[in-house]
Amino acid sequence: MVKLHEMILRDAHQSMLATRMRTEDMLPIADKLDQVGFFSMEVWGGATFDVCIRYLNQDPWERIRLLKKAMPNTPMQMLERAMNIVAYWNFPDDVVKKFIFLAKKNGVDYFRIFDALNDLRNMEVPMKSVKEEGGHVQACLSYTISPIHTVDYFVEKFKKLEKMGADSLCIKDMAGMISPQRAYDIIKGVKDEGVKLPIDLHSHCTSGMTGMAYQRGVEAGADILDTAISPISGGTAAPATESIAAALQGTEWETGYDLKLLIEIRKYFLGVWDKYRHLHRFNALKVDPSVTLHQVPGGMLSNLIFQLEEQGAHGKYQEILIETARVREELGYPPLVTPTSQVVGVQAVMNVLHGRYKVITKETKDYCKGMYGKPPAPIKPDILKKVLGPKWKEEVIDCRPSDLLKPMWSQRKSELKEHSEVNLTDENIMTYCIYQQVGLKFLKGQAQAEFTSEQLPLPIDHPLTRGMVKQSFPEAKQIWIETVPPDERSGPAQIPTEFEVEVDGEPFEVKVIPSGGFLVAGGAPGGALPGKPKDVEGGVKSNMQGTILSIKVKKGDKVKSGDIIATIEAMKMEQEIKSEAAGEVKDIFIKEGNSVACGDLIMQIL
């Protein structure tokens, strides 16, 4: 008998709807989901925490409490990013322990724990904490293909995870590229070594091989398969629950689930799928067997396409793919999963746009220092030298990254106390610990729920709709990735030029500029800056699209060539903007927090 792990409430909509499913979309169907008898329900963690507070104005803690109550018979599972918890950077031990305690208390039963680099040192603290709280540890290995990642590599690591106290094991094939034979060999290898723990196979349909991989997986003894109810399955998401349950009927692996019940649940989710049709991406629905060659996960690909468009370099897609593979090899073959996918992807984009390792992100530096953990293979010394400079040997750490971090909980608690309007619960303190700025905005009641398809004033595939939303909600840009394939996009048609758009009751006046750009007239942050000169003598321009994080100089300051004058966040990475000439800062055309496009004037240095 095989059991299914149901992912419709987490991984499925993270893969296909930019993680935007809301708590109110989940609760009406919870009772039926609870009747199926799933091994576990994935409901929390991954990107859901971030998206809840950033885009949906929903309390993630409340979500887990409500779901647990509505599904008392099914173990609730979360995806926990080891020392990164539900974010993209390392936290100190005290915060990780407290998080596990609170997650368990609020309703999480099973913790799927993974580390992007499969550095087991990063998994120790969260695994131990889950055991102490009486939870179930599902220890995961990130699957990837490289000369390092052999069958033996996975078998040996799984044996270690069993010794570390795991209750079940999971092959996390986040890119959907595991082949049927590879799935068979790893699972068989683990079973043959006498490992008694249940093994779960997690994959996505990206390569088109996944159904076969699941079949070979169960033949090798896989105990659990990861699936999602059909309206949000296939393509970059998991295989459909109903299909896999039907496929196993009448075999020794029969799930015993009621297909009629599953189809009823399917009907419900067709409505949810439609509610977010502005997020549908044609390419995400298709298989992309090229992943078996370039090994770049689907989610990372769509991000790269989007980032290239932002940086005005969408013609370089193929070059970037090749460069991504090269950077990955140079950095010691990290599996491409959050956050390493972003480190490798953005560095590859930088290398193609500005020359190899000419612009180096802070994250690439941190990665090379060992701040994410130990890379699977050693990083080549010439790359370390390029990234960290001639004294690279002194910069590289050998310890577990979180060993370098000071406890953080009490400090954050006292910081949050300053904001009297925030209720000082442990859950709120944790939200603030994990996402300081976004978390505080949410806790102060200043976050706004994003629109759904119904709330958009024009048809969702209208070019004007995309333009308006992009300008009104700079933070919502991510969702416009591949809404329409690039070759099907057209410029603004013959249309009116002024609109009032209402989103959640708040009116936005939007004026359309004939050049094709959009200018937000009312209230939206970070829009275009009217009245800024296009060019001046001694002008320093941004060479990328992003948000200005800090300005390091003021008017009248003298700067030398190479001085850092500002920092910019581009592609979720922090980068420095340096002065190319010596002189005096005559004028500054931007403020901290402004969005800038590639080529925008930042300041004048003469």
H or E segment at 190? Answer: helix 180-192
Candidate segments 3-11, 120-128, 145-153, 550-558, binder of Co ion by CB under 5 A: 3-11
Verify binding: residue 6, Co ion, rule CB under 5 A: no
CB of 205 to Co ion, least distance (A): 11
Q: Would you report the helix, strand and coil content of the chain in percent, each value rounded to 5?
A: 45, 15, 40
Of the two residues 204 and 412, which places its CB atom closer to Co ion in the complex?
204
CB of 44 to Co ion, least distance (A): 14
CB of 11 to Co ion, least distance (A): 4
Q: Which of 327, 382, 404 is nearest to 121 (CA)?
A: 404
Of the two residues 87 and 438, which places its CB atom closer to Co ion in the complex?
87
Of the two residues 11 and 59, which places its CB atom closer to Co ion in the complex?
11
CB of 174 to Co ion, least distance (A): 5
Paired strand residues for 502: 507
- Using DSSP bridges, classify how beta strands 110-113 and 601-605 pair: parallel, antiparallel or unpaired: unpaired
Residue 410 backbone phi and psi in degrees, to 5: -65, -35
H or E segment at 500? Answer: strand 498-503
Per-residue binding string, Co ion, 145-184, x by CB under 5 A, is: -----------------------------x----------
CB of 296 to Co ion, least distance (A): 15
What is the C-alpha to C-alpha distance for residues 574 and 564, in angstroms, rounded to an integer? Answer: 13
CB of 389 to Co ion, least distance (A): 37
Verify binding: residue 11, Co ion, rule CB under 5 A: yes
CB of 195 to Co ion, least distance (A): 23
Candidate segments 4-12, 178-186, 342-350, 460-468, binder of Co ion by CB under 5 A: 4-12
Encode burial over 191-204: b for 16+ CB neighbours within 10 A, e otherwise.
Answer: beeebebbbbbbbb
What is the C-alpha to C-alpha distance for residues 317 and 314, in angstroms, rounded to an integer? Answer: 6
Give residue for tokens 């190479």: 562
Cβ neighbours, 10 Å, residue 277:
15
For residue 125, how many C-alpha atoms fall within 13 Å in the half-sphere facing its CB? 23
Candidate segments 9-17, 66-74, 500-508, 509-517, binder of Co ion by CB under 5 A: 9-17
CB of 167 to Co ion, least distance (A): 20
Q: Which of 39, 35, 63, 36 is nearest to 49 (CA)?
A: 63
CB of 233 to Co ion, least distance (A): 12
The length of the chain, given as a count of residues: 606
Q: Where are the alpha helices (DSSP H) in 37-138?
A: 48-51, 60-70, 93-106, 121-132
Within 8 A by CB and 6+ apart from 394, the residues are: none
What is the C-alpha to C-alpha distance for residues 344 and 366, in angstroms, rounded to an integer? Answer: 12
Of the two residues 338 and 575, which places its CB atom closer to Co ion in the complex?
338
Contacts (CB under 5 A) with Co ion, residues 245-284: none
CB of 229 to Co ion, least distance (A): 15
Of the two residues 186 and 353, which places its CB atom closer to Co ion in the complex?
186
Give residue for tokens 């779960």: 200
Q: Name the residue whose CB lies closest to Co ion.
A: 11
Of the two residues 6 and 11, which places its CB atom closer to Co ion in the complex?
11
Within 8 A by CB and 6+ apart from 332, the residues are: 148, 375, 376, 377, 378, 379
3-state secondary structure of 391: coil
Contacts (CB under 5 A) with Co ion, residues 34-73: none
Cβ neighbours, 10 Å, residue 73:
10
CB of 47 to Co ion, least distance (A): 11
User: Tokens in use for 343?
Assistant: 């480190």
Contacts (CB under 5 A) with Co ion, residues 437-456: none
Verify binding: residue 140, Co ion, rule CB under 5 A: no
Number of chain residues interacting with Co ion (CB under 5 A): 2
* DSSP state, residue 175: T
Of the two residues 11 and 93, which places its CB atom closer to Co ion in the complex?
11
Candidate segments 11-19, 106-114, 278-286, 341-349, binder of Co ion by CB under 5 A: 11-19
Residues making contact with Co ion (CB under 5 A): 11, 174
